[in-house]
Amino acid sequence: MVAINAQGPDTITSAAADAKRIPDLESRVRVAAGQTHPLVGRNDANLAGAIELVRRSIAQGVQLLVLPELGNSGYVMNSRQEAFALSEPIPDGPTCQAILNELRGTELYVCVGICERSGEVLYNAAALLGPDGYVGTYRKVHLWDEEKYFFEPGDLGFPVFKLPFGRVGVMICYDGWFPESSRILKLEGADIICDPTCWVLVPGLIEAQNPLSAQVHMALAHMNNLFIICADRCGVERGCTFIGNSCVAGPSGFVAGPASFDLPEMLVADINLGAARRHHWTAMADPIADRRVDVYGSLLGYSGPRG
Q: Is residue 278 predicted with pLDDT exceeding 80? A: no
Domain that holds residue 58: 2-19+27-280
State the Cα–Cα distance between residues 116 and 118, nearest whole angstrom: 6
pLDDT over 60 (residue 11): no
Q: How confident is the model at residue 244 (pLDDT cuts 50, 70, 90)?
A: very high
- Residue 210, pLDDT > 80, answer no
Would residue 304 count as lying in a domain?
Answer: no
96 catalytically annotated: no
148 flagged as catalytic:
no
187 occurs within a structural domain: yes
Distance CA 224, CA 182 (A): 7
For residue 155, give the 3-state DSSP assignment: coil
Q: Is the distance from CB of 276 to CB of 29 less than 8 angstroms?
A: no
Per-residue pLDDT averaged across 277-306, rounded?
83
Strand partners, 200: 242
Rounded Cα gap, residues 152 and 139, in angstroms: 9
Among residues 6, 34, 29, the alpha carbon closest in space to that of 246 is found at: 34
Residue 4 has pLDDT above 60, yes or no: no
Q: Which of 69, 102, 147, 207 does the annotation list as catalytic? A: 69
Q: Is residue 192 one of the residues assigned to a domain? A: yes
pLDDT of residue 205: 66
Q: What is the CATH number of the domain that holds 264?
A: 3.60.110.10
- Rounded Cα distance between 86 and 117, Å, is 9
Q: How confident is the model at residue 206 (pLDDT cuts 50, 70, 90)?
A: low
Over residues 75-85, the mean pLDDT reads 95
Flag the least confident range among 30-34, 149-153, 220-224, 280-284.
280-284
Cα distance between residue 27 and residue 226, in whole Å: 13
Rounded to whole angstroms, how far apart are CA atoms 259 and 229? 12
Separation between Cα atoms, residue 95 and residue 51, nearest integer Å? 9
Asked if 5 and 269 count as a contact pair (C-beta separation under 8 A), the reply is yes
Of 96, 111, 115, 173, catalytic: 173
**What single-letter amino acid sits at 206?**
I
**Mean pLDDT within 188-196:** 97
Any idea which of 44-53, 214-223, 274-283 has the lowest mean pLDDT?
274-283
Residue 302 — pLDDT band, cuts 50, 70, 90? confident
Which sign, positive or negative, has the C-alpha torsion 120, 129, 251, 253? negative
The alpha carbon dihedral of 117, 121, 122, 123 has a sign of negative
Residue 296, in any domain of the structure: no
Does a structural domain hold residue 66? Answer: yes
Residue 21 confidence (pLDDT): 45
Percent of the chain predicted with pLDDT > 70:
89
Nearest-CA neighbor of 186 among 221, 149, 135?
Answer: 221
pLDDT of residue 304: 86
The rounded distance, in Å, linking the Cα atoms of 54 and 31 is: 12
Average pLDDT over all residues of the chain: 89
Q: What is the pLDDT of residues 100-116, one digit of tens each?
A: 999 999 999 999 999 99
Grouping H, G, I as helix, E, B as strand and the rest as coil, residue 72 is coil
- What would the mean pLDDT of 62-82 be, rounded to a whole number? 96
- Is there a domain that residue 306 lies in? no
Active-site annotation holds for 140: yes
Instruction: For residue 58, give Cα distances in angstroms to 98, 152, 174, 266.
Output: 15, 34, 29, 13
Specify if 214 maps to a domain.
Answer: yes
Instruction: Report which of 81, 55, 78, 83 is spatially closest to residue 67, judged by C-alpha positions.
Output: 55
pLDDT at 44 over 50: yes
The answer to whether residue 7 scores a pLDDT higher than 70 is no
Burial of 48 (0-12, 13-18, 19+ CB in 10 A): exposed
Q: Which of 3-12, 44-53, 159-168, 258-267 has the lowest mean pLDDT?
A: 3-12
Question: Is residue 43 very low, low, confident or very high in pLDDT (cuts 50, 70, 90)?
Answer: very high
37, amino acid identity = H
Q: How many domains does the chain have?
A: 1
Whether 69 is covered by a domain: the verdict is yes
CA distance 137 to 145: 22
Q: How far apart are CA 181 and CA 170, in angstroms?
A: 9
Which backbone phi and psi does 224 adopt, to 5 degrees? -105, 5
Q: What pTM did the predictor assign?
A: 0.90
Q: What is the mean pLDDT of residues 235-249?
A: 94
What is the band of 291 on the pLDDT scale with cuts at 50, 70, 90?
confident
In the chain, the N- to C-terminal Cα span, in Å, equals 44
Instruction: Provide the pLDDT confidence category of residue 26 given band limits of 50, 70 and 90.
Output: low
How many angstroms separate the CA atoms of 271 and 275, rounded?
A: 9
CA dihedral 60, 100, 266, 239 (to 10 degrees): 170
State the catalytic residue, choosing from 115, 140, 147, 230: 140
